[in-house]
Amino acid sequence: MAEPIRVVVTGAAGQIAYSLLYSIAKGDVFGKDQPIILILLDIPPMLPVLEGVVMELQDCALPLLREVIPTDKVEVGFKDIDAAILVGSMPRKEGMERKDLLKANVAIFKTQGSALDKYAKKTVKVLVVGNPANTNCLIASKSAPSIPKENFSCLTRLDHNRASSQVAMRCGVSSDNVKNVIIWGNHSSTQYPDVHHAKVTVQGSEMGAYEVVKDDAWLRGDFISTVQLRGAAVIKARKLSSAMSAAKAICDHMRDIWFGTKEGEFISMGVYAAGNTYGIPEDLIYSFPIQIKNKTWKMVDGLPINDFSRAKMDATAAELVEERDTALDFLGQ
């Protein structure tokens, strides 16, 4: 058996974590022969709830789960970890300005970034889920200068999966017959779900998504807004934010980091934009098409970008620049 790896999940008493922890502990993410020590980090008022989560994980009787450590202390939470899934963040409350939300989260992710810097392995892979995910990820990375920037990413896989599924349903195929959709930019309603490079397999033959869908107005209109606003639609219906689908996307994202993407396929994730060939400002965490091999990601370069796409890619970049500048002001205070 391999040595156990240490995985921390923050916001571990919350509803996304509740859908996520079982999949991790059972081996769906890091492999069926990889023992795991699971560290559950949350704020002090949530510790009693966390005890219940620990009991349930014990009661699952999972052979790969070697130990579960509940804690409210970052020095315990981030000690020698191999993977960090940062789900916990300050949620936006009624009447709260986006600025106030940013300020609260800068404080959280500065603390967690510094703790990663001080206590985690330098090879740690950090996935930021808590919103605003791109900017929180940037702040965490800037607060952990000794950990390579490439080790930080934020979750846009949920948007990616939403886009794939919309195309699949429209074409009457299963979702594994759709590949290479792209989410560009921010995990917000300005994100740009792009299917110009996507492929759909119908009755054994692979074709471009535009060719199969045969409805450009839908692909440039309702398809985009459905994906952009899907999170809000789920909240409206469930009175709670996406949890099952968010947890599944986190598993997909981390599994791909660990085991790589399939040959000829790319996925979407928010990564450090330095060196990109798409004219996106460099000091941002921005979602790009990504391929992964040997736990190292690279951007898919050289995809032709038309004027329609260009405008949408620039609009979401502009929002990220504004968010970043506001957040960096708070960071400097």
pLDDT, tens digit, for every residue of 20-43?
Answer: 999 999 999 999 999 999 999 999
The predicted pLDDT at position 180 comes to 98
317 pLDDT exceeds 80? yes
- Between CA 292 and CA 236, with CA 134 as vertex, the angle to 5 degrees is 110
Q: 330 in a domain, yes or no?
A: no
- What is the total count of domains within the chain? 2
The predicted pLDDT at position 161 comes to 98
Q: Are residues 164 and 126 in the same domain?
A: no
Q: 333 in a domain, yes or no?
A: no
Q: Are residues 52 and 165 in the same domain?
A: no
Cα gap 283→324, rounded to integer Å: 9
Q: 331 in a domain, yes or no?
A: no
Q: 228 in a domain, yes or no?
A: yes
The predicted pLDDT at position 46 comes to 97
Q: φ and ψ at 291, to 5 degrees?
A: -120, 145
Annotated binding site: 42, 92, 98, 105, 129-131, 162
Q: Are residues 120 and 185 in the same domain?
A: no
| For residues 238-265, average pLDDT | 96
Q: Residue 282 maps to which CATH number?
A: 3.90.110.10
Contact indicator for 181, 159 with CB cutoff of 8 Å: no
| For residues 172-184, average pLDDT | 98
One-letter amino acid for residue 108 of the chain: I
The predicted pLDDT at position 57 comes to 98
Residue 196 known to be catalytic: no
Q: Are residues 173 and 284 in the same domain?
A: yes
Q: Are residues 116 and 13 in the same domain?
A: yes
Domain that holds residue 293: 156-323
The predicted pLDDT at position 148 comes to 98
Q: Give me the residue label for tokens 């996307």.
A: 249
Q: 87 in a domain, yes or no?
A: yes
Q: Are residues 190 and 233 in the same domain?
A: yes
pTM value surpassing 0.75:
yes
Task: Choose the final residue of a domain: 101, 119, 154.
Answer: 154
pLDDT in tens, 291-306: 999 999 999 999 999 9
Annotated binding site for substrate: 92, 98, 131, 162
Annotated binding site for NAD(+): 42, 105, 129-131
Q: Are residues 74 and 108 in the same domain?
A: yes
The predicted pLDDT at position 1 comes to 80
Q: Are residues 83 and 163 in the same domain?
A: no
Task: Choose the final residue of a domain: 154, 169, 196.
Answer: 154
At a CB cut-off of 8 Å and minimum separation 6, what does 126 contact? Answer: 83, 84, 86, 116, 137, 140, 141, 144, 147, 151, 152, 153
The predicted pLDDT at position 333 comes to 82
pLDDT in tens, 80-132: 999 999 999 998 777 778 788 899 999 999 999 999 999 999 999 999 999 99
- Marked catalytic residue, from 160, 187, 197, 253: 187
The predicted pLDDT at position 47 comes to 97
Q: φ and ψ at 27, to 5 degrees?
A: 105, 10
> pLDDT grade, residue 9 (50/70/90)?
very high
Task: Choose the final residue of a domain: 112, 134, 154.
Answer: 154
257 pLDDT exceeds 90? yes
Q: 329 in a domain, yes or no?
A: no
262 pLDDT exceeds 80? yes
Q: Are residues 147 and 22 in the same domain?
A: yes
Q: Are residues 167 and 222 in the same domain?
A: yes
Q: Are residues 89 and 27 in the same domain?
A: yes
